[in-house]
Chains A and B, each alone.
Chain A
Amino acid sequence: MLPSHSFEDADPNWVPPEIDTSVAHSARVYDYWLGGKNNFPADRALAENILKVVPTMRTMARANRAFLSRAVRYLVKEAGIRQFLDIGTGIPSAGNTHEAAQETAPDSRVVYVDNDPIVLAHARALMTGLRAGETAFILADLRQPEAILAHPTLAARLDFTQPVAVMLVAILMFFRDAEDPYGIVSKLLDPLPPGSYLAISHPTADFNAQAMAGAVAAAEHSGITLVPRNRAEVEAFFAGLTLVEPGVVPVLAWQPDGEPPAEPESAYYYAGIGRKP
């Protein structure tokens, strides 16, 4: 019999999650590129293999991370959003969603979702907000949007009568079209009220087809699906939404903080934000 005070109190059948650090995991590979130390040999091997074909991958990972911060600031300041659903949280790094949001609006609430127990343990331990109770964590998989939406933690923390921003930063590339990522995104947005937002960043082969093909091959070799998408395919995630200026653009060109970037296509990601009418 399992203890009643188990990790997931809500689930009496909870068993301790097994972790496997012998295979590469995308969150830890990303951590390595960002200069983190929460990674293992398999993660470092894949990260280095991708660096061989995309030597500026570290800069691109930081560019993607910087988009997350700019997007959250836009959503808080310009769009008045105070509730975030951040799926594919990743290992905590500088400028996490709740930090970027609570910097401007301390009452912002963030629910983080990740399917990796290590990521979630780090998030729970290190991503505590300014005030208790305003960040929450769910162990769930974007493959089951219904399970995320039905999770009691979500209902307890987010008010679905008020707008919510769904953050899908560098996660949709793990889904082949056959897994219906477009359907998943639309299921997530369905219950949200008008005025809600969707933010996406997504790798693309549009700026350097050869390098991206090398990255895809390296990832697949380590058992990780990586599907780059072109501009039209990324725009299709925003079907039924109104795109915020400047639309789906290279991640470096999405509302840059300072001067417009000299080479916006030097980071192989698209980014965009859409508003539910």
Chain B
Amino acid sequence: MNALPGTKWQTVANQAAGRHDVTEVQPGAGPTVRRMLLGSQLRRLRIDKGLSREQAGEAIRASEWKIHRLENGQVGYKDRDIVDLLRLYAVTDPEEIAVFLVMAHEANLPSWWSHLSDILPQWFRAYVDLESSAMLIRAYEGQFVPGLLQTEEYMRAVMRGALLDDSQEELDRRVRLRLGRQQVLLDQTDAPRLWAVVDEAALRRPVGGRAVMRAQLERLIDATKLPRVTLQILPLGAGAHPAMVGSFSILRFPDEELPDVVYVEHLTSALYLNKHDDVDQYLHVMESICVRSRPPDATMEFLDKLLTDADTT
């Protein structure tokens, strides 16, 4: 695995600190998070000047909606847009302008997964970036073992079960991508913390057959020993719960500026929510299921029990 792009970023950000207090990007931050940060800093400059999105749009010959998307990091900036916006916001120091331009360029650098991009649907690319930039990933999974904790065999069984019309080669590449995500997220010292809640039902479904499931449960037991992984099991006995509607993740970033991002995956697309109203509701649901789930220090014992049950039935 190549080093993640962007280690030189910090130096540039530090030079600018103290002027407009450009937020430091963590090494390893992917392009999506860089765009979000660039957008949030330009938003702050605009608001400090008391300008509307419409007024900013005029300066770059674009709509209010385009400014909205730029400031949320949903689309990339062109150099000319940045220069024009900074002029409007009365940022004239060439060094400072350079910092913003470098930030925009780095947001266009390839991600660690770019050699596998042909098998990554467009809507999933941002997630893979966001995930590797997060400091905390909170995930609820109702149907599967979370992708980051899957064994290769379990992964293959899930993918075959999804009946995607894939060749063997494509399937292999999907598996490589997921294993790559595991390597990025679980093995690095500055990796994000994973706090996952898994429904008991997902652990009782023998995906791939008994042998595969047994190895998967053993993998989960090992995962509970990792310092940066917290696993809680939502018991069947908890009855109806607020997350029954489906799986979702909440990604939290180290920068105070950046809001949490909620990720909800569908069959052919995905939702990325970062508005306070949406995030608050998902965070509430996540807190509700965490307090309903068995505490993390009871997870290993429960997984042991599942293994025993599997042997005797």
Which of A's residues lie within 8 Å of B, judged by CB? 2-3, 5-7, 9, 16-17, 19, 21, 35, 37-38, 40-41, 117-118, 120-121, 124-126, 128, 132, 137
Q: Which residues of chain B have C-beta atoms less than 8 A from A137's C-beta?
A: 295
Of B235, B283, B296, B302, the contact of A124 (CB 8 Å cutoff): B296
A40 to B285, CA, bound (A): 12
The answer to whether B238 and A16 touch across the interface, beta carbons within 8 angstroms, is: yes
The answer to whether B294 and A16 touch across the interface, beta carbons within 8 angstroms, is: no
Q: Which residues of chain A have C-beta atoms less than 8 A from B288's C-beta?
A: 19
The answer to whether B283 and A3 touch across the interface, beta carbons within 8 angstroms, is: no
- Closest residue of chain B to A4 (Cβ to Cβ) is B237
Encoded as 1 (CB less than 8 Å from any A CB) or 0, chain B from 271 to 313 comes to 0000010001001100110111111111000100000000000
* B193 interfacial by beta-carbon distance below 8 Å: yes
* B232 interfacial by beta-carbon distance below 8 Å: yes
- Between A and B, 27 residue pairs with Cβ closer than 8 Å are A2-B237, A3-B236, A3-B237, A5-B235, A5-B237, A5-B298, A5-B302, A6-B235, A6-B294, A7-B295, A17-B291, A19-B284, A19-B288, A21-B280, A21-B287, A37-B252, A37-B260, A40-B283, A40-B284, A41-B276, A41-B280, A117-B291, A118-B291, A125-B230, A125-B296, A128-B227, A128-B296
Q: Which residues of chain A have C-beta atoms less than 8 A from B287's C-beta?
A: 19, 21, 118, 121
Q: Is the interface of A mostly helix, strand, loop or mixed?
A: loop
The answer to whether B283 and A5 touch across the interface, beta carbons within 8 angstroms, is: no
A-B interface contact total, Cβ < 8 Å: 64
A194 to B276, CA, bound (A): 50
The answer to whether B230 and A128 touch across the interface, beta carbons within 8 angstroms, is: yes
The answer to whether A121 and B259 touch across the interface, beta carbons within 8 angstroms, is: no
- Cβ of B26 to closest chain A Cβ, rounded Å: 15
A142 to B210, CA, bound (A): 48
Of B256, B290, B292, B297, the contact of A35 (CB 8 Å cutoff): B256
The answer to whether B280 and A40 touch across the interface, beta carbons within 8 angstroms, is: yes
Known contacts A37-B259, A126-B195; decide if A121 and B290 are in contact (CB<8 Å). Answer: yes
Of B195, B235, B256, B259, the contact of A3 (CB 8 Å cutoff): B235
Q: Which residues of chain B have C-beta atoms less than 8 A from A17's C-beta?
A: 291
Known contacts A5-B302, A16-B291, A125-B230; decide if A21 and B284 are in contact (CB<8 Å). Answer: yes
A124 to B79, CA, bound (A): 47
- Cβ of A41 to closest chain B Cβ, rounded Å: 6
A41 to B284, CA, bound (A): 11
- Closest residue of chain B to A1 (Cβ to Cβ) is B237
The answer to whether B230 and A16 touch across the interface, beta carbons within 8 angstroms, is: no
- Cβ of A177 to closest chain B Cβ, rounded Å: 32
Q: Which residues of chain B have C-beta atoms less than 8 A from A19's C-beta?
A: 284, 287-288, 291
- Cβ of A139 to closest chain B Cβ, rounded Å: 9
9 nearest A-B pairs in the assembled complex, by CB-CB distance: A3-B237, A117-B291, A121-B290, A125-B230, A16-B292, A35-B256, A124-B295, A118-B287, A21-B284
Encoded as 1 (CB less than 8 Å from any A CB) or 0, chain B from 233 to 264 comes to 00111100000000000001000100110000
Q: Which residues of chain B have C-beta atoms less than 8 A from A117's C-beta?
A: 291
